[in-house]
Structure 1
C-alpha cells in the first residue's frame, strides 16, 4: 500500500492540486497496488507518514516564512523516508528544508535568480525539466506537475502504469519512457533512522564516497553492526547500494548529456573507465556506448 500527500499550501494552484489528484487517482485504479492520495492543508499537517509528499506550483511568488510549518513538515517526512517532490515554486520549501545537500534542484526559470539570492548554497539548474534523486524529485515550470506526477507513478507503480496513465490523459511521457528500463529505487521506509540518514548522505555524496569504511564511520555504528543493519534495511550491501546509485546517475548522464564515457566515469566516482564499463554492462546488460546509442534522445 502506498500513501501520497499533495500539500495544498496557501496560494498553490488549485488546478494543479486537482490535476495531481486526478492523475494519481487514475493510476491507482489501474495498478495492482493499493494507493491513497490525500490533499493535506497546512492546517491539517500531522505526524502521519507518507511514501511521497508533493508540493504543487503557485502562480505567485511564495515565501517559506509565510508558511513556517511546511519546511519542517517535509523535512520530517524526508527523515521518515518519504520521497519529497516539488513543482515550480514548491522548490522554495525544499530549499528551506535543507534537502538539497549540495545537489541541483530545478524550478521555473523565472524564479532562479530570486531563489539563488535567497538560498546561495543551493544550485538551481533550470535547464532541466525534471531532476530526480532517490529521495527527491524537482520539476520546472507551472505545468511540470504533469511530468512530476508521472515520475511518482513510475517510481512506485512501474513504467507500465505510468505509460497507461499518460495515454489516458493524452500527455507526452517526454523523457519518461522506456529508456529508463531499469530504475534503482532504494528502500527508504524501513524504520531504521540511522541507516536512512546514511542513505541520504550517500545520495548527496555518492561520487565522493570512497569505500564502505567511510560510510560506516559516518553512521557512527560499529562496522559489523552497520553492515548487518544496512543489508537488513535496504536489501543490499553498502558497496552494492553505492554501485547501483552511481550506475543510475551514469544512465542519466549518458541519456541527457554529451559527456564522454570517461568523463561520466569520473563524474560518478570511478577512476578506471574499463572497470566502470564492465560494471555498467553487468548491471544494465549493455555497454555504456551501446546504452547511449540505443536510448539517448535525438538532439536538434
Structure 2
C-alpha cells in the first residue's frame, strides 16, 4: 500500500508528518500489511507571506491549500497542528485521528532568565495575541513584539533585538530541541491555545476503508475528548486565532477537567472558568464553560483593549 501524506514544508510540519507516517506504517505492519507513506509537500499562503499573521484566519494561511489538495485527490491524508484548524467541520473531510498529545505548555526561550527574572522593560517576541495578552497580565512592564517565522528565525532574534521569545513547547519537543526552552510556562500563568500540542490527521470521507482503519488506529481517546472540549468552548465564544482565548482540558479516570481563560489584549482584565464533567460529554462541558464566561462579560473582554 502506497499512501501520500500532504504536509507543509517547514521543518516542524515535516517532522510531525514523519512521526504520523511512521505510526501508520507500524499500524499497517501490525495487521500484516506492507505500507509506504510518502510525504507530499504543499506550499500555503502562510509559508510564502512575510506579513504578520495577527488578525488573519489560520485556515486561510495554512490549511486551505492542504485541504484543497486532499479533496482534489492529490494526496490521501493530511497532518495539521490541531490549533491551526477551524472548529467548523470541513465538507467532505473527517478528522480520523488525534494522536496522543505532546505537552501543550508554552515555552519561554531566553539567554537564561526565567519569566520572573527578565529585566524590567524586556522585549519579548510572539506572534500570538493569546500569548501576548497573558504575558502582559503576568508582567505589565514587558514590551511585547510581534514576530513570525520558523523556529530558527525566532530563536535567532534572542541574540539580536529581543530578550526572549515564546514558542509552543510541543514544537520544540518534536524537533528534538526542547533543551532550548528556558522554562515551560505553568498553565496557571499561560493557558495554552485550544488544541495546542495535538495533531489532527484528516482524510476524505470517501477514503478507502483500509486507509481509514490505519489512520483511526492512531487515535487517542483522552486527547480527543480534551480537544473536543477546548474547541467546543472556542466555537461558543466565536473566537479564532486572533482572539486571546486559552483553553486546556485533561482527562483523569474518565472525568474531564477544563480550564478556560479570556484576557483582554492589554492584559489588564481576565476571566477564568474551571469546570469538570464526564469525558463522554466533552463537547457539552466545553460549551457550558464558554457560556458561563459569556455570562460574565467575555464577549466585551475579547474586544477590549
Q: TM-score, normalised by structure 1?
A: 0.29
Q: TM-score, normalised by structure 2?
A: 0.28
- Indicate the structure whose relative CO is greater, using CA pairs within 8 Å and at least 6 residues apart: 2
